[in-house]
Amino acid sequence: MHEDIASPLKAWESFYVIVGSSAGALTGLQFVVLTLIGEGGRHRKETISAFGSPNVVHLCAALLVASILSAPWSALTNAGVALAACGVLGVVYSAVVVRRAHRQRGYQPVFEDWLWHTILPPLAYSTLFVTGASLRWSSADALFVVGAAVLLLVFIGIHNAWDTVTYVMAQRGAGSQETESGATGGVEVRAGRGAARDSGPGSSSVSGVASSGESLVSRAPDLVRNSESETPP
């Protein structure tokens, strides 16, 4: 690496080692998310393409930028061109993600989802494009902006992955409660029907006996008078 470009990039070497290794390791979090989605039966392709796959792309983009700025460039302009190219590709991909988010029907996004999935990512990629184009003329300031954009991509990936995990677990808990309440209600209904069947004939017999006893008692005086009238003098 030449002396003229080693000085601005050399100072950021440790920063991009930390960010790049973290972004590469955090891609495993998204695999955990996809596993939970698959176990829960919520695996619509269009929904995952809009809210799942972009998280891996954002983390990989942060890893790519860290690799670009750690490479032994012969001129700072070449590094700027590579950053600008990453920014352009990121903006195009973000537009595709926005389209997928509008077309999918498996999940109804709220404002927080639109912010973290469709607003902040293109902002970070646009920043990479602008700073990459101006890296040759204002390298000191541009590198700080690039570092902020890379951190934003990492935070976007972490937030979206964690948000998906909490949503899936909440939905799974709600489904379990509904299943348990339905089973409990079914047991209570069957128990009530059994009690009704057990008490039905017995109660009818008792009421029948009681009514028969009452009718005999009420008719006793008539029976006595009839027997007296039939007795010869």
Asked if the structure places residue 233 within a domain, the reply is no
Amino acid sitting at position 91? V
Query: In which band, very low, low, confident or very high, does the pLDDT at 179 lie, cut at 50, 70 and 90?
Result: low
CA 209 to CA 141: how far, in whole Å? 102
Asked if the structure places residue 48 within a domain, the reply is yes
120-154 tens-digit pLDDT: 999 999 999 999 999 988 888 899 999 999 999 99
Asked if the structure places residue 220 within a domain, the reply is no
Asked if the structure places residue 83 within a domain, the reply is yes
Asked if the structure places residue 206 within a domain, the reply is no
The overall average pLDDT reported for the chain is 80
Highest mean pLDDT among 49-58, 100-109, 123-132: 123-132
Highest mean pLDDT among 58-67, 168-177, 223-232: 58-67
Residue 21 sits in which domain range?
3-182
pLDDT number for residue 48: 87
Asked if the structure places residue 81 within a domain, the reply is yes
Domain count, the chain: 1
Element (DSSP H or E) covering residue 150: helix 139-230
> What share of the chain in percent tops pLDDT 90?
46
132-162 in b/e burial notation, b at 16+ Cβ within 10 A? bebbbeebeebbebbbebbbbbbebbbbbbe
pLDDT number for residue 151: 97
* Cβ-contact 101, 109 below 8 angstroms: yes
**Per-residue pLDDT at 85 exceeds 70:** yes
Average pLDDT over residues 55-78: 93
**Per-residue pLDDT at 198 exceeds 50:** yes
Asked if the structure places residue 216 within a domain, the reply is no
Better-scored residue on pLDDT, 119 or 174: 119
Asked if the structure places residue 223 within a domain, the reply is no
